[in-house]
Structure formats: structure tokens, C-alpha cells
Amino acid sequence: MTARHAQPDEETPLLHSEYHEHHKRKHHPIPWGQFSILLVLQLAEPLTSQVIYPFAPELIRNIGITHGDETRVGYYVGLMQSIFFATQALTVLHWSRISDHIGRKPVIMTGLMGLSVSMYCFGLSRTFWGAVISRSLNGALNGNIGVMKSMLAEITDPTNIAQAYAFLPIAWSTGATLGPIIGGSLSRPAERFPNLFGHSDFFKTYPYFLACSIPATFSAIACFVTLFFLKETVRHPLSVRQLLRLAPKTAAADAARPKGAALDDRDRPLPLRQLLVPRVIVAAANYAFLAVVDITLRAIQPVFYSTPVALGGLGLAPQTIGLILSLYGVTNGVMQIFLFGPVHDRFGTKRVFMAGLASVLPVFALFPVINEFARLEGLSPAVWALVLGQALLSIIINFSYGCVFIFITASAPNKASLGSVNGMAQMIVSIMRTVGPATANSLFALSIDDAHHYMGGYFVYYALSALVCAALWVATFLPDRTMSDEDGDGDEDGGERESAADAGES
């Protein structure tokens, strides 16, 4: 009797051969040694990207690109900040695909050294185009986001991947909190700390070098930590020489294999066109919609807080805005650690993902409500209660990130192509993060403009709510269940993970 093998579709879990639906799941612990290293390494990107925010407007004014026109400062600051995501979008897929062949460690080390060198260069920049080139280098050399997510998926299994993804926002939140503190407190050290740096001509000439050197040095140290302590997870990585000299790539892969090793398609990265299957496209599209919904919300929130009440905002001081956002960051981190895993296990990946997206609808709806209350009562206790409630409600969307990472991992046709799949998704997300904030802020400005004042000044919230509805529609195409939702045989998955780790050590 001939055995029939079902063809994979968009609901087929990653590596279905490792999945055994008739066995009760046995949860494995997270491999904390390697997982902790990955969390520390992930600090590098938010540190380097966020450290410039406090002094970026001052830098633009001082280098003279605006010629004293204060209205153009925001334009050049936005351009300088967006260039990172733009160049990252151009290269992140290539770095991820390379990591499928030569291994994760070399690509991560290259990205960390790229972050380090570019931040040192940024601190030494005295012209606008010097700063732009430094930020471009920062984005172009950093393909670590997708690669680290691939590595995380490779050291975990379906029984603990949701718990592991719950910790990812902690690394970003920590870096995003420390970065502005470093940038704000260590810029212009000759003026702030005259006893220590007042006699240094170097720090007077380069007033932002000290602030930039902290994340740059951290990235350099992280590179050596990767070299000595992080274990490779790609089973049979090629050397760079093999990758460049041998063609076709399958020949290089065969040459790299130990003698006697059986040829297995699961160990061979697939060509890009074979990755463009429905389940990969659907997962990547949902990640893109989630990213653009989230980043437009984060872009609108501080602008709304700082805009005068008469124009549709709250007119809060920067210190108050910082306090609200800090409270949001701390609460988000705590909720992710303690709630995401249990909530995911209780309701499933797709339900949690869609609930996180849907939670943004009342968040957008609260913006005009808060403004109307502020117009009537001023900054009354009722207004503050609404602001606090809105900030807490906006945390729920972060649960969707852990879910969409699970969908992306499950969509990969094989483990050897996991880096490429993550790279494709990250490339699209980088594009969204390049255009999202500018689009949202432009809609906000158009809404409150005296000449237009569309929909009473609240047009932006209607437009962004429509975007959320579109994202929810795209989410309906996701598979109802993933491997992490099912009862699988954890022992075999655990053995798979351990063998991959052992291969990395050899």
C-alpha cells in the first residue's frame, strides 16, 4: 500500500516531520545560556538608533544645514533618522540569506562591528552629509534583526517559543530607554562636566562623540561576546571562500558536508523564488501591517500629547510626555514577561494576534475623546484617567509581535531557509518603518491645518482606523493553528534543537 504525503500549504507547520499530533506535549525549558546572550546582543540596535534622538535637533542646528530656518529642523532630523531604515531595507534580506549559508555568527559579528564603526563615525561627523553617510552605514551593515530571530527559533522548540518571544520586547525597551538617557546626559560633555572634560579640545570640537561612543563600544564588546560564547545554529555552514568560489551553491553545500552525511533538502537553503509561497507571503504581509499600525500609533502619540489643546492635542510638557512613555515601557515589559506566554497558550496564536491588532481601534478612538474632554474640563482627573487608560490599552498590540514571529517561523519551508524568510519579512517591515511615521505625522498636520481641518481635525484617526481594519482583514488569511498551538512530542523537537546546537559547536 503506497503511503500518501500531503502537500504543504499555508497551514502546514514548519518541519511537519518533527510534529506528532498523537503525543502529549512536554514543555522544554528555554536554553537560558544562549538565549541570554541573544537578548544582550539585541540591545545594540536600540541603543545605537535611539541615542541620537535627544541631541539630533541641536546637531542639525549646529551644522548649519538649515541656515537658521527653525521650521526645517524637523525635516532634516526626520531624514537623518529614516535613512537607517531605508538602507536596512535594501540589505537585510541579503544578510539573512547569507546567514543561511555561512552561519549566523559571522553575519551577527559583521552587523555589530558595523554598528560600532558607524556610531564612532557619527560622533565624529561635522557635516549633515557626514551624519547621513554614518547612519546609512549603520543600516546597511546591520542585518542582525532577522538573523537573531532565526537563531532564536533554532534554539527553541514549539513548547517554549512563545515564552521566549515574550522576552524580546524587554531587550528593545531597555535599549530604547537607556539610549535617550545616554544621548541626553553625555552630549556636550565639555559644557556639562567642565571639571572632567572642560579642558579637552577634542570634546569641544566633537560634542556628541562621547554619547555615541558608549553604544559603539558596547557593540564592539558584543561582537567579541558573539565570537567566544555564542554557538552556531546552522548545521553545516560554508566558509566565505566556498560561498564565493564554488558554483552552483548546491555543490558548495555538498562540499561542506562531513563525509558520510546524508543529503537532505531540509539542510539546504532554498532559492528565493521557492520561498515566495502563500504561507510565507501571508505571514510577511501580516508582520508588515502590524509594524505600520504600531509605528503610526507611536508616531502620533507624542505629537498628540505635545500639540496645544485648541489644535486637537493635550499641550503637555516634554517631561510629562517622557514620564507617560516611560510608564508605558515599564508596564509593557512586565506584561510581556508574565502574561504573553499564558495568554498565548490559552487562546492560541491567531486569536491573540488579531486581538492585539483590534485593540488599536479603541486607542485611536480615544484620541478625539481625550481632546474633547480637555477642551471642556482642562487637564482634569478624568482626562488623566483616559490618558492612562489609553497608554495601558496600547500595550496589547505588542502581544501581536510574539504571535507574528511564530507565524513567520512556522511559514519557513525548512529550517535552512529560516534566515531568508525572516530577512524577507524584515525588509518589508523596514520599508514600512521608513514611510510610516512621516505619513502619520503628515496626516495629523493635514487634519489640524486651519485651511482644511478635515472631519473636525480628527481625519487622521479615521484614516488610521481604516488601516487597522485592513490589517485585520489580512490577518484572516493566517492559519488557524501553528505548531506551537498543538500538542506535539517535545522530546523529538528538543533532540532536534540539541543536535543543531551540537553541530554549531563542532
Quickly list H helices, 8-67.
32-42, 44-50, 56-63
Q: Give me the residues of the chain with pLDDT under 50, please.
A: 1-13, 15-23, 247, 249-257, 259-263, 487-506
CB 203 within 8 A of CB 191: no
pLDDT of residue 23: 46
pLDDT the model gives residue 490: 39
* DSSP-assigned states of every residue in 435-504: HHHHHHHHHHHHHH-TTT-GGGGTHHHHHHHHHHHHHHHHHTTS-S--GGGS---HHHHHHHHHHHHHHH
SS (H, E, C) 186-236: HCCHHHHCHHHHCCCHHHHHCCCHHHHHHHHHHHHHHHHHHHHHCCCCCCC
For residues 499 and 35, is the Cβ–Cβ distance under 8 A?
no
Q: d(Cα 36, Cα 30) in Å, to the nearest integer?
A: 10
Contact 396, 357 (CB under 8 A): no
- pLDDT of the residue at 319: 63
> CA end-to-end span of the chain, whole Å?
41
In terms of Cα–Cα distance, which of 118, 127, 107, 105 is closest to 48? Answer: 118
| pLDDT tens, residue by residue, 24-56 | 556 778 888 999 999 999 888 888 877 887 777
Quick: pLDDT tens for 75-117: 677 677 778 888 888 888 888 888 888 889 999 999 999 999 9
How high is the pLDDT of residue 266? Answer: 58
**Angle at alpha carbon of residue 424, lines to 104 and 340, rounded to 5°:** 80
CA R_g for the chain: 24
